[in-house]
Amino acid sequence: MKKSCCLILAGVLALAGCKSKEDAKVLNLFAWSEYIPQTVLDGFTAETGIKVNYETFSSGEEMLAKLLAGGVGYDIIQPPDYIAEVLIKEGELLPLDTAKLSGLDNILPEFRGMPHDPQDAYTVPYMTGSVGIVVNTERVTTPVKGFKDLFKPEHSGRIVVVDDGRELVVAALYTLGLGINDITPENIAAARPLLASWFPMIKLFDSDSPKTALLNGDVDLGYVWGGEAAILWDEDKKFQYILPEEGAHIFVDVVAIPAKAPHPDAAHAFISYLLRPEVSKLISDEFPYTNPNGAARKLLTEDQLANPGSYPKTELALDTFRHIGESGALIDELVTDLKNTSGQ
Amino acid sequence: MQTIGLPGTAAPHARKPGLWGWLLLAPMVLWLLLFVVVPTGILAVYSFCQRDDLGRVVFSFTWDNYVRVFDPIYLNILGRSVAYAGLTTIICVAVGYPVGWYIARRPAGLRNLLLLLVMIPFWTSFLIRTYAWIAILKNEGLLNGLLLSAGAITAPLELLYTPVAVVIGLVYAYLPFMILPVYGSAEKVDNALVEAAHDLGAGPVRAFSEVIIPLTLPGIAAGVLLVFVPAIGMFAITDLMGGARVPMIGNVIQNQFFKARNWPFGAALGVVFTLMFVFTYLAVQWHGRRSQR
């Protein structure tokens, strides 16, 4: 009882940004909602005695806003790659102390030295995933291989896409054969007519749970997160997932320690814990994204590895998103404008 | 109620509040200061600022955000939001007025029961109720199932993710805010006045338009404000039931603060939106005062 009082007190002190000796047994985790299984957090606390304060966000931008606003001293954050890139550039992350980490070798070579952190000095990949096309093969019998097949007049009103301007613009840039990280006024202007022809065919935009409309039968095709497609495939094999032939990218969600983290030791211990194959497997069991942990993949079932949503087969060289800074406003304006005109 | 004479200036109530009065008011004044005046001030300041590469607010003066607000795209979206909110308000008046009047004219016991029924939905989270509408309106949903099995339609109706669904959602969400103020006004209407109108030869239409409507106008005005203003800014319903296809001004503002990370532009939209609210309020007030003469 006394101990738990101490912990609560310590948590309050940590949240208030104060430093004291008592709070070494606390970890302030700031991560995506629906991304870290409770069993993993409980296991970490049981083993180390470190209490985890788990706060969630639902978009990388929201995380960035709260991190930069200061206040709460987060120990572990979980940014997507392109946000980690700018955080590194701005000196907002603590360089990892590899002497305090174990299990880094478990990360597959293709997920090391990625463009957002070429030296792997600040971040460790947590989960990765792709964005691709899912098709209800019971309702759609013609083959769908890419964006050109997805956005065909006969599919009008039967499509769900993620409500994410950048993903939609990138789909258009791939189709046009342009670089996905070159968000220039010229490229945006080139993407506009193509997107303008696509938008009226889209039945709904949903980033949070695009699988719902597919499961409900309200739509038959989608441009969705791989993890969502993996859950659909688990539900019913009629939902097939492919990476568009025009091009595809992966996103990498990493774990990192903010420069002002009050408990860097606990943060390192947590990262090592996540890197353990048996722990990483628990994450894959609950959230079927692409696991970058090679040792953990060996523990997965054949069915898990055969899931195209989690492990799509492709010949494509997959890109990653880079920080685009203020040109994001161009995307936002284009998408708002197109939604506005196609919704008349 | 406008016939009640104003208390004379010598009346004890007209005294200036003493220390004790201010003390009683203090929590409210503090609340208003902290949660209305200060945030509005921050919003106003931010709306003239710029953002940096990371989306942080940089305090250097610019008119750009306001110039952008008056870009045809955003004016168009604002216009559409007002149109949707207007349609919602009209439907709410048409549906809510008879309900409010009916409830007010029932005996006390029944009246309280009916009022309770109006308010019970508030016990459930608004988002959950919106998801319930998705279950009702979806292609393989309750409504289509019912109509199909009754033989009223042969193919499922496309309702969800259409403007119709948005209006259904808005009317559903705001109808109680029309019924309750109308009820409040209607309850105070003296039946003798309605009877007098009939005795003086007014038919039902004339009694309604010249006696009942003017007497319940304060309730209608309050209801219109409570429905129209929040309906303009609503974003959850357009996202969930409209499929995020047609942006409303609420969606655009929310986007600036989260996805686009352009707080100054979002703030400028917010300021313009707040001013619109103020003008609507003043217009209704002015209209109300004029019609009371």
Model confidence at A285: pLDDT above 90: yes
User: CB–CB of B245 and A205 under 8 A?
Assistant: yes
Share of chain A above pLDDT 70, in %: 92
Chain A contact for B262 (CB, 8 A cutoff): yes
Chain B contact for A164 (CB, 8 A cutoff): yes
Beta-strand pair A249-256/A319-320: parallel
The predicted model gives A95-111 an average pLDDT of: 95
Model confidence at A2: pLDDT above 70: no
Model confidence at B3: pLDDT above 70: no
Residue B292 binned pLDDT confidence (cut-offs 50, 70, 90): low
Residue B290 binned pLDDT confidence (cut-offs 50, 70, 90): confident
Share of chain B above pLDDT 70, in %: 94
Q: Where in chain A is the domain with CATH 3.40.190.10?
A: 2-128+252-306, 129-250+311-342
User: CB–CB of B245 and A329 under 8 A?
Assistant: no
What per-residue confidence (pLDDT) applies to B8?
44
What per-residue confidence (pLDDT) applies to B119?
92
Q: CA B26, B29, B32, B34 torsion: positive or negative? A: negative
Residue B55 binned pLDDT confidence (cut-offs 50, 70, 90): confident
Domain coordinates of chain B in residue numbers?
A: 76-292
DSSP-derived letter for residue B8 is: P
What per-residue confidence (pLDDT) applies to B137?
93
Q: Where does residue A75 rank: exposed (0-12), middle (13-18), buried (19+ CB within 10 A)?
A: buried
> Encoding tokens for residue B289?
């005062």
What per-residue confidence (pLDDT) applies to B50?
92
What's the CA gap between B209 and A228, in Å, rounded?
Answer: 57
Superfamily of B76-292 according to CATH: MetI-like (1.10.3720.10)
**What contacts B105, CB < 8 A, 6 or more positions away?**
B186
Beta-strand pair A249-256/A123-136: antiparallel
Please tell me which residue, A14 or A178, carries the higher pLDDT value. Answer: A178
Chain B contact for A332 (CB, 8 A cutoff): yes
Between vectors from CA B23 to CA B17 and to CA B29, what angle results, nearest 5°?
90
Chain B contact for A306 (CB, 8 A cutoff): no
- Fold classification of A129-250+311-342 is D-Maltodextrin-Binding Protein; domain 2 (3.40.190)
* A205 neighbourhood in chain B, CB within 8 Å: 243-245
The predicted model gives B205-214 an average pLDDT of: 91
Least confident of A304-318, B3-17, B100-114, B119-133: B3-17
What per-residue confidence (pLDDT) applies to A8?
45
The ipTM, to two decimals, is 0.79
Model confidence at A12: pLDDT above 60: no
Q: Which residue of B has its CA nearest to A337?
A: B73
The beta strands (E) that lie in B26-139 are given as 50-51, 57-58
Interface of B with A in 61-90 (CB under 8 A): 73, 76-77, 80
Distance of CA A70 to the CA centre of its chain: 23
* A65 neighbourhood in chain B, CB within 8 Å: 55, 257-258, 261
Residue B10 binned pLDDT confidence (cut-offs 50, 70, 90): very low
* A216 neighbourhood in chain B, CB within 8 Å: 138-141
* A337 neighbourhood in chain B, CB within 8 Å: 73
The 10s digit of each residue's pLDDT in B16-52 is: 778 888 899 999 999 999 999 999 999 999 999 998 8
The Cβ-side half-sphere exposure at B250, using a 13 Å CA radius, reads 16
Interface of B with A in 263-292 (CB under 8 A): none
User: What is the rounded average pLDDT for all residues in chain B?
Assistant: 88
Distance of CA B140 to the CA centre of its chain: 32
Superfamily of A2-128+252-306 according to CATH: Periplasmic binding protein-like II (3.40.190.10)
The 10s digit of each residue's pLDDT in B217-267 is: 999 999 998 999 899 889 889 999 999 888 899 999 988 988 888 899 999
What per-residue confidence (pLDDT) applies to A125?
97
Whose tokens are 């993407």? That residue is: A191
Cross-strand pairs, B58 = B50
A45 Cα to chain B: minimum distance (Å): 32
User: What is the rounded average pLDDT for all residues in chain A?
Assistant: 90
Whose tokens are 């899931």? That residue is: A307
> Encoding tokens for residue B213?
């409507």
User: CB–CB of A218 and B259 under 8 A?
Assistant: no
User: CB–CB of B262 and A333 under 8 A?
Assistant: no
Whose tokens are 């994001």? That residue is: A328
What per-residue confidence (pLDDT) applies to A37?
95
Interface of A with B in 1-40 (CB under 8 A): none
The predicted model gives A204-233 an average pLDDT of: 93
The 10s digit of each residue's pLDDT in A38-84 is: 999 999 999 999 999 999 988 888 898 888 887 779 999 999 999 99
Chain A contact for B55 (CB, 8 A cutoff): yes
* A165 neighbourhood in chain B, CB within 8 Å: 259
Model confidence at A300: pLDDT above 50: yes
The 10s digit of each residue's pLDDT in B78-109 is: 999 999 999 999 999 999 999 999 999 999 99
Using H for helix, E for strand and C for coil, what is the string for chain A? CHHHHHHHHHHHHHHCCCCCHHHHHEEEEEEECCCCCHHHHHHHHHHHCCEEEEEEECCHHHHHHHHHHCCCCCCEECCEHHHHHHHHHCCCECCCCHHHCCCHHHECHHHCCCCCCCCCCCEEEEEEEEEEEEEECCCCCCCCCCHHHHCCHHHCCCEEECCCHHHHHHHHHHHHCCCCCCCCHHHHHHHHHHHHHHHHHEEEECCCCHHHHHHHCCCCEEEEEHHHHHHHHHHCCCEEEECCCCCCEEEEEEEECECCCCCHHHHHHHHHHHHCHHHHHHHHHHCCCECCEHHHHCCCCHHHHHCCCCCCCCCCCCEECCCCHHHHHHHHHHHHHHHHHHCC
Residue A19 binned pLDDT confidence (cut-offs 50, 70, 90): very low
Share of chain B above pLDDT 90, in %: 62
